[in-house]
Amino acid sequence: MQIEPTWWITAVEAPIVVALFTMLHGLRRDLQDRIERGDQRESDVVTRTRDDLAAFKLEVARAYVPLSLIRDVDRRLSQHLLRIEEKLEEVKRCSAPAGRSRGVVGEDVS
């Protein structure tokens, strides 16, 4: 009994195709895992960089702005707000009597 060459090709080819498919599937899964780990590392790096930048900004604000300047700005801002409040109170006092002297709509004013 002689075995045909096509049978040999099929017998050898089938396991090779299965092995190649298994290798390709494993490579694809490994590549996907690496991409996910890389994304996680990048987001960790970005978060760490943001935190470092925020800390640096805070340090710059503390170290380079003198406390006397901050107090001066606070004092001037408070004075300006008090002047605005006084003006609003004055406008409120002036407009209150004028609003009372008007008649109600529909009321006979004779």
Per-residue confidence (pLDDT) for residue 100, from 0 to 100 = 53
Instruction: Please list the pLDDT of the chain residue by residue as tens digits (110 residues).
Output: 677 878 877 888 888 889 999 999 999 999 898 888 877 777 888 888 999 999 998 888 778 878 788 889 999 999 999 999 999 999 999 987 654 555 555 555 44
Query: How far from 59 is each of 6, 7, 29, 55, 67, CA to CA, in Å?
Result: 78, 78, 45, 6, 14
DSSP 103: P
DSSP state of 109: -
